[in-house]
Amino acid sequence: MSTEPSDDFSKVETPSEIISRLKDGMTIGIGGWATRRKPMALVREILKSDLKDLTLVSYGGPDVGLLCAAGKVKKLIFAFVSLDQYPLDPHFRAARQSGQIEVWELDEGMVHWGLRAAAMDLPFLPTRIGIGTDIINQPGFKFIDSPYEDGETFVAMPAIKLDAALIHAHRSDAKGNILTLSPDPFFDELFARAAPDTYVSVEKIVPTAELDMEANARFAIVERARITAITETPYGAHPTSAAPDYHLDLKHIKSYVESAATPDAWEAYKSTYLSGTQADYVDAVGGVDAIDAIAKPVY
């Protein structure tokens, strides 16, 4: 890890220090999208903690599944929980079907609009999404009429306010300037703006000059003032992708899916992959060379 020792404004913490800031019952937004750039190292740190009764907000992937399997989730606000090639995360599916968790299932655009409302410090944003569907028959929705001549009635999508957000980025400095180098940053900016505290795992911390923030402005998705703490976790999104650094580990995703088959399979998965440090995890999945060798997927 390369930091700037003379910097009095360092936001660098360990994963365990970051997770120790979270409290039972919090509403936590998790960035990324299904199997892309999920802050999995921080999720695995939550699994080792005593945290409970969490409300999660996510375009979900194995982040949601793992936390459901570990009994950490009280309520889930989501658009989907998918492993892409495996359409439904089996641990999420088990929790949903058994009634283990409360759910507020939304359209993808509704989650977007709810986060954007919170990011803009607005109580709601009007939308046509959901009209004519069963989504808006759930509790929590109200309607609003346009004050203009059109008089159209809209769904008033309420703000999805977060207590904290967890996201994963590629590079940062010790001050909290971050660069997200993926082709699509998805909604990580809105997760960060919808929360008073945002915690970021990054592939590598470098001196500020190496970020070249002026040349890479399009990759700087959110101001460092929005970042509460950062932690360097190489391969911290694995088994999800953090392209262009590394790609989706479909072989490990298969192992993860199979861990939901029986209680013994889940216990074996936990003991192999979820009990140690991030470095232990990387070793357990085959090591740095194996992750680097994963081919870019062709869809």
Both 39 and 98 in one domain: the answer is yes
CA distance 128 to 252: 39
Residue 58, token pair as written in the block: 């996510």
CATH number at residue 28: 3.40.1080.10
Q: For residue 2, tell me if it sits in a domain.
A: no
Both 56 and 146 in one domain: the answer is no
Both 147 and 188 in one domain: the answer is no
Q: Which domain holds residue 132?
A: 126-158
Per-position pLDDT tens, the chain of length 299: 544 444 678 999 999 999 999 999 999 999 999 999 999 999 999 999 999 999 999 999 999 999 999 999 999 999 999 999 999 999 999 999 999 999 999 999 999 999 999 999 999 999 999 999 999 999 989 999 999 999 999 999 999 999 999 999 999 999 999 999 998 899 999 999 999 999 999 999 999 999 999 999 999 999 999 999 999 999 999 999 999 999 999 999 999 999 999 999 999 999 999 999 999 999 999 999 999 999 988 77
CA distance 48 to 45: 5
Average pLDDT value for the chain:
95
146: Cβ contacts below 8 Å, ≥ 6 apart: 126, 152, 153, 154
What confidence score (pLDDT) does residue 298 get? 79
Both 51 and 140 in one domain: the answer is no
Both 235 and 270 in one domain: the answer is yes
What confidence score (pLDDT) does residue 2 get? 47
What confidence score (pLDDT) does residue 135 get? 94
Q: For residue 63, tell me if it sits in a domain.
A: yes
Both 66 and 137 in one domain: the answer is no
Q: For residue 121, tell me if it sits in a domain.
A: no
Residue 61, token pair as written in the block: 């992937």
What confidence score (pLDDT) does residue 179 get? 97
Q: For residue 118, tell me if it sits in a domain.
A: no
What confidence score (pLDDT) does residue 297 get? 82
Strands (DSSP E) contained in 148-260 are 153-158, 164-172, 178-179, 198-205, 229-232
> Tokens 């019952």 identify what position?
25
Both 169 and 267 in one domain: the answer is yes
Both 37 and 130 in one domain: the answer is no
Partner residues linked to 60 by β-bridges: 81
Structural domains counted in the chain = 2
Q: Phi then psi for 102, rounded to 5 degrees?
A: -80, 150
Both 75 and 182 in one domain: the answer is yes
Q: For residue 250, tell me if it sits in a domain.
A: yes
What confidence score (pLDDT) does residue 196 get? 98
Q: For residue 19, tell me if it sits in a domain.
A: yes
Both 234 and 255 in one domain: the answer is yes
Q: For residue 1, tell me if it sits in a domain.
A: no
Q: For residue 8, tell me if it sits in a domain.
A: no
Both 170 and 154 in one domain: the answer is no
Both 150 and 287 in one domain: the answer is no
Distances (CA, A) of 16 to 67, 110, 162, 178, 278: 16, 32, 20, 20, 11
